[in-house]
């Protein structure tokens, strides 16, 4: 590669947590923002590796010549992975809305395929949720934090491979087929919780950055239908009753609040206070 590898000319993508730079033939560098910890970068690289070893549609990763396999550039951490070409399901739908039903069914099939994998060497979904419940107690009051934790304790745990942020914009469709990206939040845990996170996104999430007004209107119009088709397709083959997904909904709202997304923060704070009570110990 010629010149500065972080030259903006080499930038091929920008996400919420990382930038993607061209890195030789057929590969890219996923470079996290300043301040990202080694633990966070290692966790995401490991999630990509596990998904790839399970033969899921996921980019392969290539550890660098360092003890931990991470690449370090200008004080930032990253790792090298396959370059994936192609638009996301969401991008295609904004131009070809008639493909909604087939895409929703395909997304359900991909999600089921993930949840059939059982892994132990990913972070624990339950422990992650417990830590967030403690954080909520510090932010919104110990009473709410305790009730979120109590609601979590009543729900089942498992060791399914959970993506943690599964939605149509994280499924790319190229000439070689589908590829699932953004494995950073992946955990081992309850599949119903992972589905409940997807359900939350369809029902309450804001719009992806960079969408124009027409794309937003189209997304709003088709989001509910997409979710209905996805739900029907997933529920038909789910290894658990759909009531488990619905039982996870309040806890997932609490987990989403931890992300402090500006468009959702006020709604979620009000929802949590109404659902879990607003008193403090």
> Both 76 and 205 in a single domain?
no
Residues 190 and 71 reside in one and the same domain: no
Q: How many CB atoms lie within 10 A of CB 22?
A: 18
Query: What residues are paired with 172 via a beta bridge?
Result: 88, 179
CA distance 108 to 195: 10
Look up the domain containing 74 and give its range: 8-82
Has residue 96 been placed in a domain?
yes
Distance CA 212, CA 266 (A): 23
Q: Determine which helix (DSSP H) or strand (DSSP E) holds 160, and give its type and residue range.
A: strand 160-162
* pLDDT score for 280: 47
Residues 163 and 108 placed together within one structural domain of the fold? yes
CA distances from 74 to 28, 35, 65, 78, 108 (A): 17, 12, 17, 11, 40
In whole angstroms, give the CA distance from residue 105 to residue 159: 24
Grouping H, G, I as helix, E, B as strand and the rest as coil, residue 280 is coil
First to last CA, the chain: 58
- CA-wise closest residue to 117 among 167, 62, 57: 57
Residues 150 and 102 in one domain: yes
**What is the mean predicted confidence (pLDDT) over 57-61?**
90
Q: Which range is most confident: 17-31, 55-69, 179-193?
A: 179-193
The answer to whether residues 188 and 50 touch, using CB atoms and an 8 Å cutoff, is no
- Whether the Cβ atoms of residue 163 and residue 114 lie closer than 8 Å to each other: yes
How many Å apart are CA 11 and CA 83, to the nearest integer? 12
Mean pLDDT for the chain overall: 89
Establish if 140 belongs to a structural domain.
yes
The least confident of 12-26, 28-42, 218-232 is: 12-26
Instruction: Say which range, 15-29, 132-146, 263-277, has the weakest mean pLDDT.
Output: 15-29
Where b means 16+ CB within 10 Å and e means fewer, 144-183 reads bbbbbbebbeebeebbbbbbbbbbbbbbbbeeeebbbbbb
Check whether 76 has a pLDDT greater than 70.
yes
User: pLDDT value at position 82?
Assistant: 92
> DSSP H helical segments within 116-212, as ranges?
125-140, 142-153, 191-204
> For the residues 225-235, what does the mean pLDDT come to?
97
Q: Which of 45, 57, 114 is nearest to 84 (CA)?
A: 57
Q: Range with the lowest mean pLDDT among 139-148, 211-220, 232-241, 258-267?
A: 211-220
Confidence band of 148 (pLDDT split at 50, 70, 90): very high
CATH code of the domain covering residue 255: 3.90.1200.10
In what helix (H) or strand (E) does residue 113 lie, and over which residues does it extend? helix 100-115
Please tell me the predicted confidence (pLDDT) of residue 4: 62
The model's confidence at residue 157, banded by pLDDT at 50, 70 and 90, is very high
Q: Do 208 and 223 form a contact (C-beta atoms < 8 A)?
A: no
Residues 106 and 65 in one domain: no
Query: How confident is the model over 187-201, as pLDDT tens digits?
Result: 999 999 999 999 999
Task: Using the 3D structure, point to which of 82, 112, 141 is the last residue of a domain.
Answer: 82
Q: How far apart are CA 88 and CA 180, in angstroms?
A: 9
Distance of CA 119 to the CA centre of its chain: 17
| Cα 115 to chain centroid, rounded | 14
Domain count within the chain? 2
The DSSP output letter for 122 is S
Strands 18-22 and 61-62: unpaired
β-bridge partners, 20: 13, 30
**Alpha-carbon distance 78 to 69, whole Å?**
9
Domain end position, chosen among 82, 100, 135: 82
């Amino acid at each position: 590669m010629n010149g500065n590898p972080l030259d903006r000319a080499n930038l091929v993508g920008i996400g919420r947590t990382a930038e993607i730079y061209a890195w030789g033939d057929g590969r890219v560098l996923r470079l996290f923002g300043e301040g990202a910890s080694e633990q966070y970068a290692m966790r995401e690289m490991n999630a990509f590796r596990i998904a790839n070893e399970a033969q899921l549609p996921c980019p392969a990763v290539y550890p660098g010549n360092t003890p931990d396999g991470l690449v370090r550039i200008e004080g930032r951490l990253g790792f090298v992975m396959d370059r994936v070409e192609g638009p996301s399901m969401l991008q295609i739908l904004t131009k070809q809305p008639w493909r909604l039903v087939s895409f929703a069914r395909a997304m359900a099939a991909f999600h089921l395929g993930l949840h059939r994998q059982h892994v132990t060497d990913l972070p624990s979904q339950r422990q992650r949720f417990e830590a967030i419940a403690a954080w909520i107690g510090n932010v919104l009051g110990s009473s709410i934090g305790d009730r979120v934790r109590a609601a979590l304790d009543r729900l089942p745990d498992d060791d399914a491979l959970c993506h943690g942020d599964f939605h149509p914009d994280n499924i790319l469709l190229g000439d070689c087929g589908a590829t699932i990206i953004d494995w950073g939040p992946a955990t081992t845990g309850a599949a119903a919780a992972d589905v409940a996170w997807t359900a939350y996104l369809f029902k309450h999430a804001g719009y992806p950055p960079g969408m124009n007004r027409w794309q937003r209107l189209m997304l709003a119009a088709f989001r509910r239908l997409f979710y209905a088709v996805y739900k029907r397709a997933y529920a038909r083959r789910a290894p658990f009753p759909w009531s488990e997904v619905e039982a996870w909904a309040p806890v997932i709202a609490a987990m989403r609040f931890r992300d402090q997304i500006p468009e959702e923060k006020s709604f979620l704070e009000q929802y949590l206070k109404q659902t879990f009570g607003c008193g403090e110990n």
